[in-house]
Amino acid sequence: MKEYKPNPIDTSDVVLPDELLKLTEKLAENTHEVWASNRISQGWSYGEERNDAKKLTPCMVPYSELPEEEKDYDRNTALETIRLIIKLGYTISPQ
């Protein structure tokens, strides 16, 4: 089996202004919405316990109802995406 060694771009030196930190939560919520839409299209639905064979997951709820641990996963994804965009030289500004 081929060994995979993830090598993400280091974004630890990127300091985001408050306006972009606020954007993180909206992106995190949308990340969950996209994930849930994809899961529903694959036949998944809500279940109190995760069961891959039956395609059940307790995360099939609105973002606001997710446990903080799950929200943090989506927040981290959003935060790292914003940091990478900035690191690559792009800017993000409201219209």
Would you list the domain boundaries of the chain?
18-84
Residue 15 has pLDDT above 90, yes or no: yes
* pLDDT level of residue 94 (50, 70, 90 thresholds): confident
Residue 37 CA to residue 55 CA, distance in Å, equals: 14
Residue 78 has pLDDT above 90, yes or no: yes
Instruction: Measure Cα distances from 3 to 6, 53 in Å.
Output: 10, 27
Top CATH class of 18-84 equals mainly alpha
Residue 22 has pLDDT above 90, yes or no: no
Q: Which DSSP string corresponds to the chain? A: -------PPP-TT----HHHHHHHHHHHHHHHHHHHHHHHHTT-EE-SS-BTTTTEETT-S-GGGS-HHHHHHHHHHHHHHHHHHHHTT------
Q: What is the mean pLDDT of residues 78-88?
A: 96
pTM of the model: 0.84
23-77, pLDDT tens digit by residue? 999 999 999 999 999 999 999 999 999 999 999 999 999 999 999 999 999 999 9
Can you read off the two tokens belonging to residue 79?
Answer: 């935060």
